[in-house]
Structure 1
Amino acid sequence: MEKIQAIKPGPKPNKPDGKPDERRRVNPPNQPKHPDLKPHIHKPKD
């Protein structure tokens, strides 16, 4: 019987110099550069 394993997200990749890559999170000082998404408005019958 084969064992089924769930796919788990691995650790974030490291930069070439060995430091962790933190591009996937927004730090509080950079938050103004990343505005929230605008609300999506549906058209009638859409």
Structure 2
Amino acid sequence: MNIQTVTFNLCFPGQYYDELTKQHYNLNRYYNPEFGRYMEADPERV
């Protein structure tokens, strides 16, 4: 029997956890939970 690991990286709607960067991707920018802030400025169209 072969057992595989499944990674569940979905969070809030429109958000997923990026294992490579250890950050949450929110459509247009990354949120870093270690720093408690977004790593980019708000998009200008918002």
User: If the TM-score is normalised by the length of the shorter chain, which range does it land in?
Assistant: under 0.3
Q: Which has the higher helix share?
A: 1
Q: Which has the higher contact order (CA 8 A, sep 6+)?
A: 2
Q: Normalising by structure 2, report the TM-score.
A: 0.25
